[in-house]
Amino acid sequence: MLGRLEADHGDPAEAVRLLTEEHRRHPGPAASGALGWALHKAGRSAEALPRLRAAVKDGPNTARPAYHLGMVHLALGERGAARRQLTRALRLAPEFSPLHAERARRELAALGEPAWGPPPA
């Protein structure tokens, strides 16, 4: 639990250390997702992506992992994937977090609507 707190409100590098240990002891979607979020917060979004994808795929269908995955996609410049995951998070639970739900809404508004038509060549 301390690692999750560090990821959002403390030292992301310490969160990565703590959650790497936690994931080693108790591997699974929740630990993978928490470690992925800590990696993202520590500026290691590319490393976070496969962990968060696994957490969303294999874990419970809840808003927080979808939000975390959306924010990682956003950091990597993957706008469509970010839009899909942030929308999913808010559809699952519009008020899933006092801190993150509002951020998800702001990021979605900034992303705007998807472009229609064929993708650019």
User: Can you give the pLDDT at residue 67?
Assistant: 97
Task: Please give the helix or strand (H or E) that residue 37 lies within, else none.
Answer: helix 29-41
Domain locations in the chain as residue ranges: 2-111
CATH topology of domain 2-111: 1.25.40
Mean pLDDT (the chain) is 91
Nearest of 90, 85, 31, 80 to residue 59 by alpha carbon: 31
pLDDT of residue 28: 92
Candidates 36, 40, 42; CA nearest to 20 is 36
The pLDDT score that the predictor gives to residue 120 is 63
DSSP readout, 51-70? HHHHHHHHS---HHHHHHHH
pLDDT in tens, 11-21: 889 889 999 99
Which tokens in the block code for residue 67? 């939000």
Question: pTM of the entire structure?
Answer: 0.88
**pLDDT tens digits, one per residue of 101-118:** 999 999 999 998 876 767
